[in-house]
Amino acid sequence: MPVITTIEDLRQMAERRVPRVFYDYADSGSWTEQTYRANSSIFHQIRLRQLVAVNMQGRSTRTTMVGHDVAMPVALAPTGFTGMQHADGEILAAQAAEAFGVPFTLSTMSICSIEDVAMATTRPFWFQLYVMRDREFAASLIDRAKAAGCSALVLTLDLQLLGQRHKDLKNGLGVPPRLSVANMVNIAMKPRWCMGMLGTHRRTFRNIVGHAKGVDNLKTLSEWTAAQFDQALTWDDIDWIRDRWGGTFIIKGIMDPEDARRAADKGADAIIVSNHGGRQLDGALTPLEVLPQIVDAVGDRTEVHLDSGIRSGQDVLKAVAMGAKGTYIGRAFLYGLGAMGKAGVTKALEIIHKELDTTLGLVGRTDIHDLNMDNLIFPHQVPEPFGPAKWKKRARAK
């Protein structure tokens, strides 16, 4: 077993072990993937202010997210097809998150159902809702999440219209995937994955099949999902969702201060600044770029969380220093899941926590709540001779 020290190590392992059609689903963006790449690269442009001779003992990364105690300001994001990265993937990820002390969020488009995860865990998890044209079915999802004891509802607003994801189209993504010769050969070369899938009966969208009207097999599932994402969804639809849920309510997919204020007006306990991991509007700004404006726009009316692009504990620290009360990891835990199952998700969390804890000390802080903009150095603040003004002078001289 190789020594695993970074999320990138897990990514490389997952790439070898997960069939291409499902690995590409997790590790890709829409259109040119410009935004997908920028989500991560933007973190690298921000430097850290190093302070020394500071008592670093007794560091703590513990905090709360919407009133829930967490070991660090990180939750597992809702991700579709999680159970196709590894057999029973949602169950394993939820168990790993529970043991580590961070929230797990189950996607509407999960392979394991709400009830599957509830039976396999002992603490409440969060449920993410896509609003379908079939409002009766959407209401039933809310009711099932309440019955399962879910402690927060995450409403995603940025998937009314599916962004074009070229890799998924070329790979024939589906459950099961299109059985092209290339797909069959690639799947056959992943014996560990195949054995896991043979050992489980969870291989379809179990939140939908058997629950939505007329959806009882893969053919009807495909037809139903193709027609169900609701392009007519507006802010006027939020009230009935919030009221039917009646508990902790989070709105995901906010990228503009105006929308942030609207979400706060609708009573959201938190908003997630997110561009869907670069899988929707290619060419959009990154969540980190708009985070300060959104924090200013809502003040203390609602918590501001962030996802998209986080691959390390330093990324988490930078987001928190810029005002986020919590962050979410999607691909980072999926890489771990695809690489090593439950142990891989735990490893991903351990890596991020170790990086966060170490960096917290090296920037001169002992409590995650003490982070702020003073801990960061932005490109325009880089001192001479490397600052932007100096480079511009050199360019003119040439």
pLDDT, tens only, 57-76: 999 999 999 999 999 999 99
Assess contact for 351 and 98: CB atoms under 8 A: no
Quick: pLDDT tens for 136-186.
999 999 999 999 999 999 999 998 888 889 888 888 886 666 778 888 999
pLDDT for the residue numbered 394: 43
pLDDT for the residue numbered 173: 82
SS3 107: coil
Q: How far is CA 321 from CA 77, 155, 307, in A?
A: 20, 25, 15
Tokens 């396999």 found at: 120
CA 166 vs. chain centroid, Å, equals 21
Q: If you average pLDDT over residues 255-268, what whole number do you get?
A: 98
Quick: pLDDT tens for 197-236.
999 999 999 999 999 988 887 678 877 877 888 888 999 9
Pick 43 or 383 by higher pLDDT. 43
User: Distance between CA 158 and CA 253 in Å, rounded?
Assistant: 5
- Residue 122 burial (10 A CB sphere; 0-12, 13-18, 19+): exposed
Would you give the DSSP letter of residue 321? H
SS3 6: coil
Output the pTM of the full model. Answer: 0.94
User: Distance between CA 209 and CA 219 in Å, rounded?
Assistant: 11
Q: If you average pLDDT over residues 108-123, what whole number do you get?
A: 97
Q: Identify the active-site residue in 68, 276, 305, 353.
A: 276
pLDDT band at 395 (very low <50, low <70, confident <90, very high): very low
Return binding residues: 25, 78-80, 107, 128, 130, 156, 165, 252, 274, 276, 279, 307-311, 330-331
User: Distance between CA 355 and CA 317 in Å, rounded?
Assistant: 9
Q: How far is CA 296 from CA 2, 57, 261, in A?
A: 45, 33, 10
User: Distance between CA 291 and CA 259 in Å, rounded?
Assistant: 13
Residue 117 has pLDDT above 80, yes or no: yes
User: Is 276 a residue of the active site?
Assistant: yes
pLDDT for the residue numbered 198: 96
User: What torsion do the CA atoms of 177, 182, 188, 191 make, to the nearest 10 degrees?
Assistant: -80
CA 149 vs. chain centroid, Å, equals 21
% of residues, the chain, pLDDT over 90: 82
SS3 124: coil
User: Distance between CA 298 and CA 305 in Å, rounded?
Assistant: 12
Quick: pLDDT tens for 279-320.
999 999 999 999 999 999 999 999 999 999 999 999 999 999
pLDDT for the residue numbered 160: 82
Residue 391 has pLDDT above 60, yes or no: no
Task: Delineate the domains of the chain, giving CATH numbers in brackets.
Answer: 7-381 (3.20.20.70)
SS3 155: strand
pLDDT band at 377 (very low <50, low <70, confident <90, very high): very high
pLDDT for the residue numbered 398: 44
Residue 51 has pLDDT above 70, yes or no: yes
pLDDT for the residue numbered 346: 98
